[in-house]
Amino acid sequence: MIKQKKTGQLIVISAPSGSGKGTIIHGLLEKNKNTWLSVSTTSRKPRTNDIPGVTYNFVSKEEFEKLIKENHFLEYTNYAGNYYGTPKGTIKEKLDKGMDVILEIEIEGASNIKKLVPEAIFIFILPPSLKVLVKRLKKRGTDSKEKILERFHQAYKEINEISKYNYVVVNDDLDEAIDKVDAIIKAEKCRVDRIEEVFVDTKEEEIHELLMEDEKDFDNEKLSEKID
Ligand code: 5GP
């Protein structure tokens, strides 16, 4: 009856640092094998839980600036004193293959992607409260007090930008938050603007034939009732 777009969807997920978006995205990737997470490049120093090439591609500030000049990035930004960028790389290839692609980026990057790909899905993840956010950042133990304060200010700024996104998910229960993001992506696949073609898959004659078949069955049933 309908032919839907086979290309994947670009999903942009933003959240203040410490809101648990990494864990949500990990859960989402576990659930949907057809989803691919783009690995960003950054000039920030790896944290203990970072895996080079998996969580980020780590480069020096100079290397990052060289990559900017070489037009390597779809978008990039300077966040809390470090560069972060989405490599153009394989994103289009994955989307063309029908895979959904997740970009886990901050608001400025998201707003640049919106200009490039307006049909992308923009999701914002929120912690249950700012207190919880600070507690999580402190518990992570990877940033100094000044850095935590800087990230907190950044988070405060970001929260005021939520209206630029299509969806917001509060991460107070991890499984529920994963289910919600999953449901958003699934619902987006049913949007009418993803329909490429509507066609009639059964001709009228065939419908008549089908109706006649039913009548025959009905007559046969009556006949067998009489014989009984
Ligand atoms: P973190 O240092 O906590 O890993 O990341 C800091 C912020 O940078 C997070 O909000 C994260 O989403 C964002 N970020 C990570 N990669 C990129 C990227 O490629 N582009 C942009 N614009 N932001 C990114």
14-68 residue pLDDT tens: 998 778 899 999 999 999 999 999 999 999 999 888 999 999 999 999 999 999 9
Which sequence spans correspond to the domains of the chain?
A: 2-195, 202-227
Predicted confidence (pLDDT) per residue in 57-75, tens digit: 999 999 999 999 999 999 9
Say if residue 103's pLDDT is above 70: yes
Give the Cα separation of 87 and 217 in Å (integer): 63
Q: What is the pLDDT of residue 129?
A: 87
Single-letter amino acid code for the residue at 185: I
Which pairing describes strands 121-126 and 10-14: parallel, antiparallel, or unpaired?
A: parallel
Say if residue 217's pLDDT is above 80: no
> Is ligand 1 within 6 A of the CB of residue 27?
no
Please give the angle made by the CA atoms of 101, 193 and 196, to the nearest 5 degrees. 90
Quick one: CATH architecture of 2-195? Answer: 3-Layer(aba) Sandwich (3.40)
Choose between 94 and 223: higher pLDDT: 94
> Is ligand 1 within 6 A of the CB of residue 104?
yes
- Three-state SS at 16: coil
> Is ligand 1 within 6 A of the CB of residue 86?
yes
Predicted confidence (pLDDT) per residue in 166-211, tens digit: 999 999 999 999 999 999 999 999 999 888 888 888 888 888 888 8
Q: Closest residue (by CA) to atom 2 of ligand 1?
A: 44
CA of 109 to the centre of ligand 1 (A): 9
Q: What is the pLDDT of residue 34?
A: 94
- Three-state SS at 117: coil
Alpha-helical regions (H) of the chain: 21-31, 61-69, 91-96, 107-116, 130-140, 145-159, 174-189, 204-227
Ligand 1 probe mutation, 13, 55, 84, 122, most atoms within 8 A of CB: 84
Contacts of 134 (CB under 8 A, 6+ apart): 18, 148, 152
Is the Cβ–Cβ distance between 152 and 138 less than 8 Å? no
Torsion, Cα of 185, 189, 191, 197 (10° steps): 170
> Is ligand 1 within 6 A of the CB of residue 38?
no
Predicted confidence (pLDDT) per residue in 136-173, tens digit: 878 877 778 888 888 788 888 888 899 999 999 999 99
Q: How many CB atoms within 10 Å of residue 12?
A: 24
